Amino acid sequence: MNQRQIIIAMSGGVDSSVAAALLVEQGYDVTGAFMINYDDKAEGHGECWRPDYRDAVRVAAKLGIPLLRIDCTKEYREQVIGYMLKEYQAGNTPNPDVMCNKYIKFGVWLEKLKEKGFDRIATGHYANIEKKNGQYFLTTAKDENKDQTYFLHQLNQTQLSHIEFPLGKYTKDEVRLLAKKYHLPTAEKAESMGICFIGEISINDFLKDNRIIVQPGNIIKDETEEVIGEHEGLPFYTIGQRHGFTQTGGDQPLFILEKHTQQNELIVGYEDNPKLYKTDLIIQDMHWIIEEEPVFPFDAQVRFRHRQKKQPCRIQKQKNQIMIHCTQPQKAITPGQFVVIYKNSVCLGGGPVTNELP
C-alpha cells in the first residue's frame, strides 16, 4: 500500500474540511469518506445527514479528491444508541460521543476502510498523537478550549497507530483562517448543535421516540424532606440540572441532587447543598491508553466534562477499582459520567463513575 495514502473522515463541517485540505497540501494521496451513522425516517428525524453530505461533496470537489459514502447505521444503533438507551434507563448519564469514537469512528469505520485497502484514517478532532519507545500517547491539542481528548480517551494502542489528527497543532481561529485561505465552501459554516447523530431535537423527545420505560414519581426537597411535585421519569433528569419546578414560598432555584432509582424519587435542593459536591469517587471499568498501568498512588489531573479545566487529584487503586480524590469539591458528579485522567498534556485514559465513596 502507498504509505502516503489516507482516508479523511469528512462530516461536512469546517474542521474536517480544513483537515482534508491540510493533508492534500502535505502531499498525501487523500480520499474522503462520509459516514452515515443515523437515518431513522420512521421517527421523523431521519436523514439529517443529507445537508452535511452535500457540504462534504462540495469540499471534496473543491479539493479534487474522491468521496466515499459508507453506511454504518446498523452498527451505530447497536453499539452507541443501544448503550445510550441502556444507560438512561438505568438512571445514569451516558456520553454517546465517547462510545462513537471507540466503537464507530475508530472501530467500525476503520475496519470498513481497511476492507477497501486503506490503513490510515484522519479526522478533524483537536488532539495530538505522539509515539515514544514504541508506544502511542494521546496528548492535548494546542487549543485547550477545543481539545477533544476527553471524547477520545477510550482509544487503544492499535487504534492510535492508524490515526492522524491534522488539527492538533492549530487553534479554532487558525482553522477558520485556513478555511478562508483554501476558499472552502464550509469556511463560514456555523458549529453544529444538538445531538450529533439525530439533529435538532431534545434528548427527552429522542428517549420518548425510542420508547424508554419511565414512571412518574415524587420530587422531594432535601432541605425539608417534603414532596413538592411529581417528576416525569428519572431518565429525563441528570444530577446538577436546574429543576424548573416552582415551589411555594421561595424564589431560590432548585437543582437535582440525587436520583433514587429503587424508590423512583427525584431529590432536589439548593445550589449550596453539600450533596451536590463530591471529592471522592470510584471508576470501576478503567481504560488505560498505555498498556502498562501506572504505579499507584500518583498525582494527576482529571476532567469530568469536555472543556472543563483540569482538576488536581490523587489516584489510587484498591482491588480492581480506581479511586480518585479531588483536591477541590466537584459539582454534579453522576454515575455513568466519564472521568478522564491526565498527567499534564498526556491523556492517560478514563472510565465511567460507577459508585461514590461515603
Annotated binding residue at 16?
yes
Annotated binding residue at 9?
yes
Annotated binding residue at 14?
yes
Nearest to 129 by CA among 118, 141, 145: 141
Annotated binding residue at 269?
no
The 3-class secondary structure across the chain, one letter per residue, is CCCCEEEEECCCCHHHHHHHHHHHHCCCEEEEEEEECCCCHHHCCCCCCHHHHHHHHHHHHHHCCCEEEEECHHHHHHHHHHHHHHHHHCCCCCCHHHHHHHHHHHHHHHHHHHHCCCCCEECCCCCEEEEECCEEEEECCCCCCCCCHHHHCCCCHHHHCCEECCCCCCCHHHHHHHHHHCCCCCCCCCCCCCECCCECCCHHHHHHHCCCCCCCEEEEECCCCEEEEEECCHHHCCCCCEECCCCCCCCCCEEEEEEECCCCEEEEECCCCHHHEEEEEEECCCEECCCCCCCCCEEEEEECCCCCCCEEEEEEEECCEEEEEEEEEEECCCCCCEEEEEECCEEEEEEEEEEECC
Annotated binding residue at 11?
yes
Annotated binding residue at 13?
yes
Residue 326 is a catalytic residue: no
Annotated binding residue at 240?
no
Residue 100 is a catalytic residue: yes
Q: 48, 72, 100, 313: which is the annotated catalytic residue?
A: 100
Q: Which residues pair with 340 in a beta bridge?
A: 303, 350
Annotated binding residue at 17?
no
Annotated binding residue at 12?
yes
Q: Which residues pair with 301 in a beta bridge?
A: 312, 342
Annotated binding residue at 202?
no
Residues placed in the known binding site for ATP: 9-16, 35, 124
Residues placed in the known binding site: 9-16, 35, 124
Could you give the residue numbers annotated as active site? 100, 196
